[in-house]
Amino acid sequence: MAATLASTPREDGFRMPAEFEGHAGCWMLWPERPDVWRLGAKPAQRAFAAVAMAIARYEAVTMGVSAQQFLHARRILPDYIRVVEMSYNDCWIRDCGPTFVINDRGEVRGVDWEFNAWGGLSGGAYFPWDQDALVARKVLEIERVDRYPAQMVLEGGSIHVDGEGTLLTTEECLLNPNRNPHMTKEEIEANLRSYLGVEKIIWLGKGICGDETSGHVDNLCCFIRPGVVALTWTDDRADPQYEISLDAYERLKSATDARGRKLQIHKIHQPGPLYLTQEESEGIDIVEGTRYRKAGDRLPASYINFYIANGGVIVPTFDDPHDEEALQTLQALFPTREVVGVPAREILLGGGNIHCITQQQPRG
Amino acid sequence: MAATLASTPREDGFRMPAEFEGHAGCWMLWPERPDVWRLGAKPAQRAFAAVAMAIARYEAVTMGVSAQQFLHARRILPDYIRVVEMSYNDCWIRDCGPTFVINDRGEVRGVDWEFNAWGGLSGGAYFPWDQDALVARKVLEIERVDRYPAQMVLEGGSIHVDGEGTLLTTEECLLNPNRNPHMTKEEIEANLRSYLGVEKIIWLGKGICGDETSGHVDNLCCFIRPGVVALTWTDDRADPQYEISLDAYERLKSATDARGRKLQIHKIHQPGPLYLTQEESEGIDIVEGTRYRKAGDRLPASYINFYIANGGVIVPTFDDPHDEEALQTLQALFPTREVVGVPAREILLGGGNIHCITQQQPRG
């Protein structure tokens, strides 16, 4: 039912809408593997369920679940969350799911990028990633949405768009030789333009400290609305995050977007720094081919990794002194939406957060 | 998204529509297991694909496919057939799928019967059947259709309804101790009334020769429209099928339906008799717990096992001298639909036919 298209979204008049445009719903996947998620993934499952329920107050949520976990997930999740069987290697649908694009007539299609588990055999998180690579296609089949296969490795968490022609990304990730080593920066930019319908690409440098994705932008910086961004920040010059955030700030300060606007930049102080504890590490299986999560590892904690739903903003919290300020700042930045904090350390332990485990499907 | 309801369809004003009422589409599952389907299921997959393509000329078709077969099925099937991941033990969605019910406002819900692989540990076809038992629920989740769980073993192929209060079934199957041994005939009838919204149950005796399902009605007799049935037939008194068909004929002749009508009965001469060949048997794996398919086994061949689509009727053919007459008779009986024959011996080898591998979803 989902036709495979040989053209590109740009050729056909499609563009990636911003996350703050209207959604038909949200897709998630269920955490399960015990070499990523501690204690057999049970604490993470509760955290994912809390995220799903928070989002479901604003839009329809579908949870993809493996055959093995189907009945368990169905028991944990309330009736109003749709549960569909889907295989995966892990549960980061922001990165392995489709990037939906729309046209002016409200038609929806999906881009199906190549996926290599954030670096393949050169720093990827686990092996194999064969089932992750099919997630986008399976989502599009269920939704009867036509598919653009893109011959380029890209994860949804490595890009943000303002819906008006501007894309934010990082050099650390998109130019990393573990993604598309055969492509030049110009070729990568050309693909972003072709598949996302953007005009202007704003390149930041590195992603945040502790990030396992080669520096996804979605832990560092995001659009609040066109012309306005939020940036993770620290005032501690001894923290290596300081240089990273400062560099991003300076690049953003000197940038203009696709419409020629200067950007308004809002700093949001990071939590922590936070680190994996001995007890947490010991709850995770050690498996050949999967990144070892050792006690003392810095966790890629950031309030920027939130999800914008139709009427709400779902923000990770960490039982951290900075939680309250982050929620207040975001509430002021999203005056027409309800900002909701969800405790998210158990998600963070797997290497990402609420934005990483969600994928919006635009309203047609 | 699919709420589980504690009431019954009858209480809520829902009834099972006849197959000849309007459909939203058709569900199928993909054949795969080499202990049921010869030559690694490849010939059966081609036959199922031909059925799916024939039906797709008239209504939307969704094929449920295991994770292992996803890409292969996606390659074999054309784009216009939706392919979704689904686990199963085998591919008889008529029997393990939901029975959809509708109300006068066009709302659609689904009955989720218990399933025990046509007899459980007392004559069932294979072990286990744990994934088959979840198929109905998974279909309803994908379609966001609310679910009535029914505490009774029943397969969709063991019943036919006219949509006007009448149900056809067989004593051999519904009263078989390998289904609901703890229930009386009256309790079974009460459940059929509660979950299918029928008033009158017409009991036939035995199913056809060679049937592995304890005698499903859908190889023996079906409604063409209210008041009109088709019955598989032979004139060969030496064939044990003769007594079975004659008994059914006499019961039908003396029956009245829920509206008090006498039934018009159309005999359709059976193919064959047909038998499993040595070569066919040797292409099927022998596995502990799965019914052994030995050379010389009589195959449950019947033209009655067709599928009624919105504008068509998809009829199994067997490269048999009776094919042409069956197609002509059915075309005369369905003057407003196109009767299409599809070669179906490879489906028959697995123990059923086109009706057994399809499940209509009514139009809401």
Cα gap A133→A270, rounded to integer Å:
32
The chain-wide mean pLDDT, for chain A, equals 98
Within 13 Å of residue B38, how many CA atoms lie on the same side as its CB? Answer: 20
Chain B contact set for A84 (CB, 8 A): 84, 138, 141-142
Q: Which residue pairs from A178-187 have beta carbons closer than 8 angstroms and sit at least 24 positions apart in sequence?
A: A178/A116, A178/A118, A178/A119, A178/A120, A178/A122, A178/A123, A178/A124, A178/A214, A179/A116, A179/A119, A179/A153, A179/A154, A179/A214, A180/A152, A180/A153, A183/A152
Chain B interface, best mutation among A85, A135, A142, by max B CB count within 10 A: A85
| Beta strands across the sheet bearing B166-170 | B160-161, B166-170, B200-204
Cross-chain Cβ contact B1/A80 below 8 Å: yes
**DSSP state at residue A284:** S
Among the listed residues B320, B2, B75, B321, the one whose alpha carbon sits nearest the alpha carbon of residue A62: B2
| CB of A41 closer than 8 Å to CB of A31 | yes
Structure-block tokens of residue A201: 């690409």
Cα gap A23→A20, rounded to integer Å:
8
Cross-chain Cβ contact B141/A82 below 8 Å: yes
**Closest approach of chain B CAs to the CA of A28, in angstroms?**
14
What residues contact residue B6 under an 8 Å CB cut-off, 6+ apart? none
Residues A175-182 have a mean pLDDT of 97
Chain B contact set for A24 (CB, 8 A): none
- What are the residue numbers of the active site of A? 356
Pairing between strand B264-269 and B307-308? unpaired
Chain B contact set for A85 (CB, 8 A): 85-87, 138
Torsions phi, psi for B30 (to 5 deg): -95, 130
In the block, tokens 């179906």 appear at: B344
| CB of B196 closer than 8 Å to CB of B161 | yes
Rg of chain A (C-alpha set):
19
pLDDT digits (tens, 9 = 90+) for B38-95: 999 999 999 999 999 999 999 999 999 999 999 999 999 999 999 999 999 999 999 9
Structure-block tokens of residue B264: 């018009």
pLDDT digits (tens, 9 = 90+) for A308-363: 999 999 999 999 999 999 999 999 999 999 999 999 999 999 999 999 999 999 99
Structure-block tokens of residue A345: 């350390």
Q: What's residue B1's pLDDT?
A: 61
| CB of B31 closer than 8 Å to CB of B90 | yes
Chain B contact set for A144 (CB, 8 A): 82
Can you spell out the DSSP letters for B34-101? TTTSTGGGHHHHHHHHHHHHHHHTTSEEEEEE-TTTHHHHHHHS-TTSEEEE---SS--HHHHS-EEE
Structural domains in chain A, CATH included, are 9-362 (3.75.10.10)
Residues A12-32 have a mean pLDDT of 98
pLDDT digits (tens, 9 = 90+) for B11-34: 999 999 999 999 999 999 999 999
How far CA A161 is from CA of A20, A96, A198, A251, in Å, comes to 10, 18, 8, 16
Cross-chain Cβ contact B80/A1 below 8 Å: yes
Residues A211-228 have a mean pLDDT of 97
Cα gap A326→A330, rounded to integer Å:
6
Amino acid in the structure at residue B258: A
Among the listed residues A45, A32, A169, A27, the one whose alpha carbon sits nearest the alpha carbon of residue A99: A27
Amino acid in the structure at residue B81: I
Does pLDDT of B331 surpass 70?
yes
Can you spell out the DSSP letters for A140-153? HHHTT--EEEEEEE
Does pLDDT of B248 surpass 80?
yes
CA A232 to chain centre: 15
Cα gap A107→A35, rounded to integer Å:
40
Q: What's residue A364's pLDDT?
A: 86
Cross-chain Cβ contact A67/B87 below 8 Å: yes
Structure-block tokens of residue A297: 């590892």
Nearest to B142 among A67, A84, A87 (CB): A84
**DSSP state at residue A337:** S
Cα gap B355→B359, rounded to integer Å:
8
Nearest to B84 among A60, A62, A141 (CB): A141
Cα gap B159→B174, rounded to integer Å:
9
Nearest to B79 among A4, A70, A84 (CB): A4
β-bridge mates for residue B114, sequence order: B153
What residues contact residue A196 under an 8 Å CB cut-off, 6+ apart? A9, A15, A16, A99, A101, A111, A159, A161, A167
Q: What's residue A223's pLDDT?
A: 98
Cα gap B86→B244, rounded to integer Å:
37
**DSSP state at residue A154:** -
Q: What's residue A2's pLDDT?
A: 81
Nearest to B138 among A4, A60, A85 (CB): A85
pLDDT digits (tens, 9 = 90+) for B115-162: 999 999 999 999 999 999 999 999 999 999 999 999 999 999 999 999
In the block, tokens 């020769």 appear at: B209
In the block, tokens 């209480």 appear at: B11
Report the residue of chain B nearest A61, measured CA to CA: B1
Chain A interface, best mutation among B80, B141, B144, by max A CB count within 10 A: B141
Which pLDDT band holds residue B200 (cuts at 50, 70, 90)?
very high
Cross-chain Cβ contact B3/A79 below 8 Å: yes
pLDDT digits (tens, 9 = 90+) for B276-322: 999 999 999 999 999 999 999 999 999 999 999 999 999 999 999 99
Instruction: Provide residues of A within 8 Å CB-CB of chain B.
Output: 1-4, 60, 62, 67, 70-71, 74, 79-87, 131, 134, 137-138, 141-142, 144
Structure-block tokens of residue B84: 């979704």
Q: What's residue B364's pLDDT?
A: 86
Does pLDDT of A95 surpass 80?
yes
**Closest approach of chain A CAs to the CA of B147, in angstroms?**
11
Cα gap B170→A7, rounded to integer Å:
55
Pairing between strand B228-233 and B264-269? parallel
Among the listed residues B87, B192, B341, the one whose alpha carbon sits nearest the alpha carbon of residue A86: B87
Nearest to B83 among A87, A131, A141 (CB): A141
Structure-block tokens of residue A269: 């102080």
Does pLDDT of B2 surpass 90?
no
Can you spell out the DSSP letters for A202-223? EEE----TT-SSS--GGGTEEE
